[in-house]
Amino acid sequence: MSVTVKICGITTADALDAAVAAGADMIGLVFFPPSPRAITPDAAAALSARHTGGPLRVGLFVDADDATLAATLAAIPLDILQLHGEEDAARLAAIRARFGIRVMKAVGVATRAEVTEAITRFGAVADLLLFDAKPPPDATRPGGNAGAFDWSIMQGAAVPVPWLLAGGLSPGNVAEAIATAGAPGVDVSSGVERARGVKDAALITAFIAAARGEAGARGEAGARGEAGARGEAGARGETT
C-alpha cells in the first residue's frame, strides 16, 4: 500500500500546484494565527478552488472554539479537522458530533509509554492520529518545534486508526523514518521549505517521491534537501 503523504502549511498557489502534481494525499491549511504558515479562511477557500478534488483538505486548529470552527467551515469545506492543541477525548467527540467531519488528533511523543497513552486516550474517538515531536517548554507553537523524535518508539505500536508520522522530516530522511517507524503516512511542513513559511516546489516533489520510494528521489533529496530542507527541519522541525 502506498504511503499517505500530507504537505502541511500550504499558503501559495505554487505550493498547492506542486503538491497536487506530485500526488499528495492531503494538504494542510493552518488556521492558527501565530504560525508563520497561517492562512485566513477566505484565502484558503480561494486557494483550494484552484483544484477540484485532489488531495484531502485538512484544517489545522489549536484549541479552537465552535464559533471559530463554524466560521472557517462556512468559508471553506474541509475533509478533516486536525486538532493540534490540548483538546481531550470529550472535545474530539463533541466536534465530530457537531460538525460531522473526520477528526485527526495530533499528539507530541518522546517515549513508547507516551505513544501507548495517546492511543488509549484518543484511539476510540479520533479518526486519525498524528504522532509528532514534543515541543520544548519555551515553544510558542505546539507543532514539532523540537525536530525529529526517536522513530523507533513507534515500531509495532497497535494504532487502531490510520496514523501519520511528523516532526523534522525532509526529503533526505523520510524514507528512513518510514522504515524505522513502520509509518503508513507522513506529514511535513518546514522540511519542504526554502525559508521559514515559504514552500519549495522541488522539495515538495522530492519529498513525496522519497516517501514512496520512487527511483531517483534520494539523489534529488541529497542535492536539494540535505543542504536546504533538512537544515531547516533540524533547526525548527515545525509542522504548524
| Residue 189 and residue 163 in contact, taking contact as beta carbons nearer than 8 Å | no
pTM: 0.87
| Residue 236 and residue 197 in contact, taking contact as beta carbons nearer than 8 Å | no
Question: Which H or E element spans position 120?
Answer: helix 112-122
Q: pLDDT band at residue 135, thresholds of 50, 70 and 90?
A: confident
Q: What integer pLDDT is reported at residue 142 of this predicted model?
A: 60
Q: What integer pLDDT is reported at residue 148 of this predicted model?
A: 85
80-83 and 56-61 strand pairing: parallel
Q: Catalytic annotation on 127?
A: no
Q: Catalytic annotation on 8?
A: yes
Tell me which DSSP letter residue 3 carries. P
Average pLDDT over the chain reads: 88
- Taking residues 170-198, what's their average pLDDT? 95
pLDDT digits (tens, 9 = 90+) for 226-240: 434 333 333 334 567
| Residue 62 and residue 85 in contact, taking contact as beta carbons nearer than 8 Å | yes
Q: Which of 8, 25, 187, 200 is labelled catalytic?
A: 8
> Structural domains in the chain?
4-235 (3.20.20.70)
Q: Which of 25, 132, 187, 200 is labelled catalytic?
A: 132
Look up cell 515553544; give the residue. 139
d(CA 12, CA 47): 7
- Taking residues 152-181, what's their average pLDDT? 96
The string of DSSP letters for 172-211 reads: TTHHHHHHHHT-SEEEESGGGEEETTEE-HHHHHHHHHHH
Tell me which DSSP letter residue 153 carries. G
If one compares 144 and 200, the residue with the highest pLDDT of the two is 200
Question: Which H or E element spans position 25?
Answer: none
d(CA 47, CA 100): 23
